[in-house]
Chain A
């Protein structure tokens, strides 16, 4: 039997970390784009848009991410498309992220005083121009801290992709445990890895938030 040293465990977990990072980035960027489209759709005051996006948000916030992953995995297969865990995980996490981000950003846009919209309107800017030149530049400033904070949520969410067979950090940890029979050690290392990924981001989000509040006082 091959013996695993502590370094072997650590090295293998480190190698798996990149897939966690890649999946997080795909979900975060994809979710950001979809979330932005949903946000604009909602702000455009198209009849029914508010209800539709609101329902979408509630659907994703009111159901477990694990179920969303399973549905994506078996749902794509239903259309006769051969799915990999990659596609299913990326799709589910993108939609999940988009629902949360669009809701976070809506709050930020809503905190812009109504007078700003009206002033932009009175300057004869049309809707895209109002968004582009007046509202979004101000909203982005407010949106950065909670958005960075949500990235931590996304990274933790990718851990669930291990359940549908996506080999990332958690799955690698389970596999190493099965090979080494050292669950205590491996899961401690695993938690440490996630902590090393997430804690700096939490700190940055916290600092950004504090700086912003200081600027306002």
Chain B
């Protein structure tokens, strides 16, 4: 038995792959930015909000964390139009990724917030900072710093999860691989190449976020 692999047939389609990488990164950057912000807001309301809001956010977090991403994506893309909300594949993908990431981010950031010593909050109050200032200047930066490694891992998990978005014809990397293999029937090679690109992307994004965090999120 002979197995002949032809990677050139796949690599010669590099413009498609490049476009796929671009979309994957764009989806990740947009959803990570919005997702972390929503996560911060949700974490704040779980820690300081009124009881009903705590309950709403808590149910949202549990609902998202206990259902698969692909079901959330299909619900948003195929389910919501039936309720009158029509979305393009790209927008649906971003919404699904934001919804997914922010639920996990809420729990991650909340863990960081809860680890803040009480004396720091009291000290901030005694300096006449209001609640908002206390949260954004005193509580949040060290909390983010503490949980940043977990946050980075979660962002990467969401980036890898975005491979599913190709199923609703968002033109990201796995969609490109699928398109290439449907043209030249080199399925195994196409997916090997795509998988290796994902591996490189996840390592690069981890390095980049570890570098960005201290510089822009909480200062050194």
Residues of chain A having any CB pair with chain B under 8 Å? 58-59, 62-68, 70-71, 74-75, 77-80, 152, 155-157, 159-160, 162-163, 170, 173-174, 177, 182-184, 186-188, 190-191, 194-195, 198-199, 202
Is residue B127 contacting chain A, with contact meaning CB distance below 8 A? no
Given known contacts A160-B70, A184-B79, A188-B79, is B198 in contact with A74 (CB within 8 Å)? no
Query: Which residue of B80, B194, B203 is within 8 Å of A67 (Cβ)?
Result: B194
What are 18 A-B contacts with C-beta separation under 8 Å?
Answer: A59-B199, A62-B160, A64-B162, A66-B164, A66-B174, A67-B174, A71-B191, A77-B188, A156-B66, A159-B70, A160-B68, A170-B68, A170-B71, A184-B80, A187-B79, A191-B72, A198-B66, A202-B62
Is residue B74 contacting chain A, with contact meaning CB distance below 8 A? yes
Contacts of B69 in A (CB 8 A): 156, 159
Query: Which residue of B62, B177, B199 is within 8 Å of A63 (Cβ)?
Result: B199
CB closest chain-B residue, reference A75: B188
Q: Which 9 A-B pairs have the closest CB atoms?
A: A159-B68, A64-B163, A198-B66, A184-B82, A156-B68, A187-B75, A183-B78, A187-B79, A64-B160
Min CB–CB distance A56 → chain B (angstroms) = 12
Residues of B in contact, count (CB < 8 Å): 39
Is residue B161 contacting chain A, with contact meaning CB distance below 8 A? yes
Q: Check if A184 sits within 8 Å of B74, measured CB to CB.
A: no
- Known pairs A64-B195, A67-B191; list 11 more (Cβ under 8 Å): A62-B198, A64-B163, A70-B187, A70-B191, A170-B71, A173-B71, A174-B74, A191-B71, A195-B63, A195-B66, A198-B67
Min CB–CB distance A16 → chain B (angstroms) = 13
Contacts of A191 in B (CB 8 A): 63, 67, 71-72, 75
Count chain B CB atoms within 10 A of each CB in A65, A70, A199 and give the residue with the most. A70
Q: Check if A71 sits within 8 Å of B195, measured CB to CB.
A: yes
CB closest chain-A residue, reference B66: A198
Is residue B132 contacting chain A, with contact meaning CB distance below 8 A? no
Q: Check if B75 sits within 8 Å of A199, measured CB to CB.
A: no
CB closest chain-B residue, reference A177: B78
Q: Per-residue CB proximity of B186-220 to A under 8 Å, as 1/0?
A: 01100110110011001100000000000000000
CB closest chain-A residue, reference B156: A62
A80 to B195 alpha-carbon distance, docked (Å)? 22
Contacts of A64 in B (CB 8 A): 160-164, 174, 195, 198
A62 to B199 alpha-carbon distance, docked (Å)? 5
Min CB–CB distance B192 → chain A (angstroms) = 7
Q: Check if A78 sits within 8 Å of B71, measured CB to CB.
A: no
A69 to B74 alpha-carbon distance, docked (Å)? 19
